[in-house]
């Protein structure tokens, strides 16, 4: 079981005190324009270009670093409790990761609730993933934060299951930040860290879950990956702050996945709030987390090159419409 605890830096203590003071008046407020404004303030990465695009029928944005690994991509699923967030607002966040790992990253604008309730987000994420495969990306890493982190874990399980039914390539790695894995809100830290968390409240998450799920069971594994089957998953890295109410969502998912035999790293960060890596350039922990994420995503892949052949077939997966089956031949890299 790999669990790494990261102590808080002295400088970050002072910075977090200021962040808490600024955030206090809007704690628990989930408003679309304000959320995008905060996310857009992430420091931009040098040498990354951005391009609006459609992948798998889903609109979004590409973040393309100057140097890219051929055939490799990131599918980044953004946070926002399934009711907030846009791909455009997340460009700087994802650009920071894309530059570090030298691979193009696509951020889909999956449909948001309440206009588009469950399972619209899952269908959109799967469509974008299969779209990347259809474009010849044989090495896809799933990355996400908060609700997008939970969505990435759901998608990973779906693609592993699909791989068993047909020749569909599963993701090679998953990396999630502060994942929301339990929409039933049963974690003990929902209550015990209520005062420590500067951003989230149980009431806000409950409202978002209700808008997304309606009367649907919050323990459905396609909504809450905590209740899914974590067997056979690709290597996963989880980063979470120790001052956020979703700490238990990360810890319990890690415990279950490890018990099932999956390779999962849990990194907990003292004094850090929800999705703290978006504060790159402001918090030392944010830069450190993204640098560690670089080693997890970029340096730990098996030395294989992928030869991908895509074949269209009638869909039988979770999503609707025609799906893309992918047959893969691996050969040792030169």
Closest CA to 89 of 32, 46, 144: 32
- Per-residue pLDDT, 164: 65
Using an 8 Å Cβ cutoff, are 284 and 253 in contact? no
Using an 8 Å Cβ cutoff, are 283 and 132 in contact? no
Question: Cα 247 to the chain's mean position, in Å?
Answer: 15
Using an 8 Å Cβ cutoff, are 156 and 143 in contact? no
DSSP-assigned states of every residue in 162-204: HHHHSS-PPPSEEEEES----TT---THHHHTTTT-SS--HHH
pLDDT tens for each residue of 274-290: 999 999 999 999 999 99
> Counting every residue, how long is the chain?
334
- Per-residue pLDDT, 295: 73
The Cα–Cα gap between 331 and 182 comes to 39
- Per-residue pLDDT, 332: 29
Domains of the chain: 2-332 (3.40.50.1820)
Give the pLDDT means over successive 10-residue stretches in the chain (334 positions).
Answer: 91 97 96 97 95 98 95 97 98 96 96 98 98 95 98 97 76 96 98 98 98 98 97 95 98 97 95 97 95 70 34 38 32 29
Tell me which residues are annotated as active site: 146, 244, 274
Using an 8 Å Cβ cutoff, are 31 and 89 in contact? no
- Between 10-23 and 284-298, two packed helices, what is the crossing angle to 10 degrees? 110
Prediction pTM value: 0.89
Closest CA to 130 of 174, 170, 172, 72: 170
- Per-residue pLDDT, 294: 75
For residues 246, 161, 320, 182, the Cα torsion angle rounded to the nearest 10 degrees is -10
């Amino acid at each position: 079981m790999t669990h790494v605890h990261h102590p808080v830096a002295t400088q970050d203590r002072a910075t977090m005190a200021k962040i808490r003071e600024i955030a206090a008046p809007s704690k628990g407020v989930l408003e679309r324009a304000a959320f995008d404004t905060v996310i857009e303030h992430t420091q931009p990465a040098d040498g990354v270009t951005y391009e609006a695009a459609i992948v798998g029928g889903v609109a979004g944005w590409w973040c393309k670093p100057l140097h890219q690994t051929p055939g490799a991509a990131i599918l980044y699923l953004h946070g926002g409790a399934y009711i907030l967030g846009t791909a455009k607002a997340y460009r700087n966040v994802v650009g920071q990761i894309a530059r570090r790992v030298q691979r193009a990253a696509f951020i889909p604008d999956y449909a948001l609730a309440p206009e588009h309730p469950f399972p619209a987000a899952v269908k959109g994420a799967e469509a974008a993933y299969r779209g990347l495969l259809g474009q010849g990306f044989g090495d896809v890493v799933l990355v996400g934060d908060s609700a997008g982190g939970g969505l990435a874990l759901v998608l990973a399980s779906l693609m592993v299951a699909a791989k068993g039914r047909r020749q569909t390539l599963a993701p090679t790695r998953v990396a999630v930040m502060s994942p929301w894995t339990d929409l039933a809100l049963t974690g003990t830290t929902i209550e015990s860290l209520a005062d420590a968390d500067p951003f989230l409240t149980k009431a806000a998450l409950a409202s978002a879950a209700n808008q997304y799920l309606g009367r649907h069971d919050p323990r459905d594994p396609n909504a809450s990956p905590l209740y899914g089957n974590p067997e056979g998953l690709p290597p996963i890295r989880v980063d979470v702050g120790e001052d956020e109410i979703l700490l238990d969502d990360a810890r319990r998912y890690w415990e279950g996945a490890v018990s099932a035999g999956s390779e999962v790293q849990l990194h907990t960060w003292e004094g850090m709030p929800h999705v703290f890596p978006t504060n790159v350039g402001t918090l030392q922990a944010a830069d450190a987390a993204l640098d560690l994420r670089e080693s997890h995503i970029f340096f730990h892949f098996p030395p294989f090159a992928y030869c991908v052949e895509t074949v269209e077939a009638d869909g039988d997966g979770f999503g609707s419409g025609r799906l893309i089956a992918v047959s893969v031949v691996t050969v040792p890299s030169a």
